[in-house]
Structures are given as structure tokens and as C-alpha cells.
Structure 1
Amino acid sequence: MPEQNGIPSALLCLLSEVIAGRATATDLVHQIGLLAVPETATDAADGTSMTEIDGATVDLGRKARCGFGEVIYGPGKSADLVARLIETQLEAGQDSLVTRIDPQTAVAATHRFTHARHNPVARTLRVSSAPIVSGLQPSPNGLHVAVVTAGSTDAPVAEEAIETIEWMGVPVSRFDDIGVAGPQRLIAAVPKLREASAVVVVAGMEGALPSVVAGHLAVPIFAVPTSVGYGASLGGLTPLLGMLSACAANVAVVNIDAGFKGGYLAGMVVSQLRQVTPDTCQAS
């Protein structure tokens, strides 16, 4: 990345955008976070930093390599181990996201931190060194992710996607219960959906909704099949195969009930778009 007096040009450009009112302070803080190197990890710049704790190895270099820190998979981990993993990340200046955590473990771990958010519907736990903000608003450039559910029973998977996207510092808008059985609800939502830069569509049953949504939009659609449905839905296999067979060219599919994966991919798309380049700055 080109630099001016040791400061990345993209960062200087984004600062000028904030001053001009075309970007927000949140965008600036997010970009600084992507460039930051944890003080506790001398080799974090090349993405190789590892910290050994009793029971696990924490990949502190993942943020440098991949843009975001390591996500903690909750099942099978004790509350003490989860808390120690989180503490290691916080000491390195990285916010934590735990997925698929059971309520008892989440509550026990939460008591050890000042700024924590447990979402029992999503089965997630987020911990930060600062107050956690939900419902992030799109910046003036409007970049954000839309999360769509086919039905209210898909909410747990959609909530996992939303928690993931907000952990990434990306604004989210949500559209609930607009499945193909009520096409008028989708048509009413299309104008707002067209404002999103990426869309996560969560659906069970026959899994038709992502194709229908994609036919209205010019952005990537990340389809998440859910295990919602009667016997012939085969625990999510039927919507998975239906989504993989989608005719719409802008649909990509993740695993059954994988709200985290759908949300992460959509968040990465918007995060890349938010990184203002010097050329973009000069053109504006």
C-alpha cells in the first residue's frame, strides 16, 4: 500500500472523505483497525503470530492475514477455556466472536467481561474492549449487507449472520418473513434490497427464495439453506441442493444452517468496498 510520510495513502484519503462528510468516523476506525498490529505479537505483521494457552492455540496472526480475527467455535469448550481465549484476543487488541455457544457457557463467560453481548437466539457471544454497538447505520456511501429470511423460523440462522456481520463492523438491514409463498412481500422489499452491496438469504423448505431475490438484484447473493421444513426437506438437504442448482448467476451457497459463513462472506464483500483507494479519493 503506497505511503506518504509513513502513513498509508488509503488512510489519508479516507480521512479526507470523513472531513468532507462522504464517510463516517466509523469507517475510519474500521480502516485503522485493519492496519493495526497487535503490540503483544511482534510477528503479527506477517500473520504468523500464535499464542499457546492451556487447551488451545490462539491464532493472533489471522487478522493480519485475513482482515479479521479468529472466530471461536463454542461447542465442546468450557466457560473457562472460552474466557481465556477471549482474554488472549482482547490483550492483542482484537474483539471476539464465539459461535454456537450454549446458554450456560455464555452466561458464565460473560460475567468475566465488561463489554459482552450474548445473543441466545443466534447462539453467539461477542466481547469487546469498548461498548458493543448493534444496529450500525450505513455510512453516507450506503455500503451495507441485507439479511433476508424466508420465514420467522429461520431467525436463529439469520441472527447468527447478523451478529457476525456486526462483529466485522459492517452495517446490516434485515427483512423478515418474505418467502416465496407470499411474493407480494418480496416485491415490496425489492427497492430497499437494491440499496445493499451484498445480500444473505436464509431459507428452508424447498429453498427457492435466493433465486427469486437474485433475479431482482445486481449484487452477490449468499444463500444459506436451513434445516426448517417437513420430512422431504431432509434436514436442510433439499434446500441445499435446490440452492446449488439455482438458475440465477449471482447466487453462491454455504452449508446448512451456516449463518456465520453466509454473514462472513457478505461482510468481506462490503469490507473490501469500504477500503477507499487514492484513485477513488481523487476521482471524487
Structure 2
Amino acid sequence: MDTKKTLALLQEVKDGTLTPEEAVLKLRMSPYEDLGYAKVDLHRELRQGVPEVIYGSGKTPEQIIGIASVMRENGSENILITRLSPEAAKKVEKEIPLDYDEVSRIGIAGRRAEVTSSGTIVVAAAGTSDLPVAEEAARTAEALGNRVTRLYDVGVAGLHRLLSNLDIILEARVIVAVAGMEGALASVIGGLADCPVIAVPTSVGYGANFGGLSALLSMLNSCASGVSVVNIDNGFGAGFLASRINHMGDKK
């Protein structure tokens, strides 16, 4: 049950058209809907301000359609579907309105383009090969109501490319640093910025990169203060966390 429906329910209690006991029963019945293959959390937006996010990998298009349809029927907008393959997206968009991006593999059902925070999130990617993860972070943050500035191909192998955008880095409220190889970009940005830096290691690199493990360990051992690290290739997690931090600035 979304915020609008909850407020309407409380108004019915206030008006006397619904007893408190009946309202409690409705609230107890509404936390989730059991589809058999999924229990859709309908209270997520009420609790956290953001609807449940659908992880598309491993789900059939029919399952994704079923989950998203239930969420839309209960008032959810900006429903994020991550790791959605192009083939699955073609089937899903036949049943529900879908804004799909092949680079990030993110689909947004019932998109509501609205900026709800005054701060800016900067998403910086070391190389072009890191763009799928960087775009996953950027599009996640945008879907959650954030203004996003992209700085792409600014890896430390050509440090001047990053330093020429120092003004953008210093104006950010939170920065997402995406890098594979040795993952040095996060430490460099962490030494320049006065805001939180979320480091995202990617699986981009040669053999000794170990599928992103070397970048992960480098970022975890960063000598720069204020750098936190999410899992390998987890652009979604970084974008979501960046959104939380960005909106906290407005709450204060």
C-alpha cells in the first residue's frame, strides 16, 4: 500500500466511514502480495520512500511482468528493473510501459521524471569499458529523483582528464567512482573531494584483475578518507546509496 492509499485509509477512519479495527485489518493484509513465485513487498515505498526493486536476472519476462503489474496496480511509479536483458525487455514492454536502456540493462516501469533533491551526484568512470556499471549507477540515481553529472573516461592513466573537471568534483554532494584494473580512481577522487565517495570496483581488467577482485581490494585499502566501497559491478547499489546520501542533505 503506497502513501496515498494509506492517507486515504486514515482519512476514512477520521471521517467515521471505517472503524479503526477495519483499518488495522486492511493494513495487516496489505504488506505483500503472494504470487507464488514472488512475494511482492507493497509496503517498501511506505517504509523507505522507494518501491521494491526488481532484479531481472534469472527471472522470466512473465514473472517480471507479474511483479511489476501488481506494483503498478498498488500505485507504485518509477519501478526499477535491474539486469534486464534486451530480449526480456522486448517482451516486458509489450505488456507494461517501459523505459529501457541497453547499456545499463535497466528498465523503468511507470517512469516519473522528477528531481527531488537539490544536490548533484557525480558518476565518474575510469574507462569506456566501465560504462555499463557507471550507467547502472547513474540511471538508478536519476530514477530516484537525483540530478546526475557524468564524467566518463577520466581514469588515472590520463590524470589531466580528471583534473580538468575539478570544479564539477568540488561541487558534488556525493561522488560514485567506477573503475576496474587496479581501481585507483576512487583514491584519487577521495583525495580531492570534500563529499562522500562511493567506490565501485568493476570486473574490467586482465588476468591478475581476478574478475574485479584486485580493484575491490585496492578500494578497500584506499588511503583517502571518506571512501566507502560496494560490491564488484554493483552500480545499482552505488546509485541507490548515493541517492540516500543526496536526499539526506535536503532533510538537514
Would the TM-score normalized by the shorter structure come out above 0.5? yes
Count how many residue pairs are aligned between Structure 1 and Structure 2: 236
Calculate percent identity across the aligned residue pairs.
39
State the shift of 1:274 in Å: 2.5
State the shift of 1:110 in Å: 1.0
Partner in structure 2 of residue 102 of structure 1: 85
Aligned counterpart in structure 1 of residue 186 of structure 2, from 210, 216, 225: 210
Alpha-carbon contact 1:45-1:64 (below 8 Å) kept = no
CA distance in 1, matches of 2:38, 2:143: 22
State the shift of 1:93 in Å: 1.6
Secondary structure of the residue aligned to 1:58 is strand
1:1-284 to 2 correspondences below 5 Å: 36-37=4-5, 49-95=31-77, 96-114=79-97, 116-128=98-110, 132-133=112-113, 141=118, 143-275=119-251
CA distance in 2, matches of 1:163, 1:182: 26
Secondary structure of the residue aligned to 1:182 is helix
State the shift of 1:138 in Å: 8.8
Residues 188 and 37 (structure 1), Cα distance of their counterparts in 2 relative to 1, 3 Å cut: farther
Partner in structure 2 of residue 280 of structure 1: none
State the shift of 1:237 in Å: 0.2
Alpha-carbon contact 1:117-1:132 (below 8 Å) kept = no
* Stretches (4+) displaced over 3 A: 34-46, 136-139
State the shift of 1:273 in Å: 1.9
* 2:47 maps to amino acid: R
State the shift of 1:84 in Å: 1.2
Root-mean-square deviation over aligned CA pairs: 2.5
TM-score, structure 2 normalization: 0.86
Secondary structure of the residue aligned to 2:199 is strand
Residue-by-residue CA offset, 1:108-147 (whole Å, 9 max, x unaligned) = 0011123x2111111111011xx554xx7797x4x12110
Secondary structure of the residue aligned to 1:181 is helix
CA distance in 1, matches of 2:157, 2:3: 46
Unpaired runs of 5+ residues, structure 1, are 1-33, 277-284
State the shift of 1:271 in Å: 1.7
* 1:226 maps to amino acid: T
Secondary structure of the residue aligned to 1:147 is strand
* 2:219 maps to amino acid: M
CA distance in 2, matches of 1:226, 1:183: 19
State the shift of 1:201 in Å: 0.5
Unpaired runs of 5+ residues, structure 2, are 10-22
* 1:98 maps to amino acid: I
CA distance in 2, matches of 1:162, 1:38: 31
TM-score, structure 1 normalization: 0.77
State the shift of 1:39 in Å: 7.6
Residues 45 and 168 (structure 1), Cα distance of their counterparts in 2 relative to 1, 3 Å cut: farther
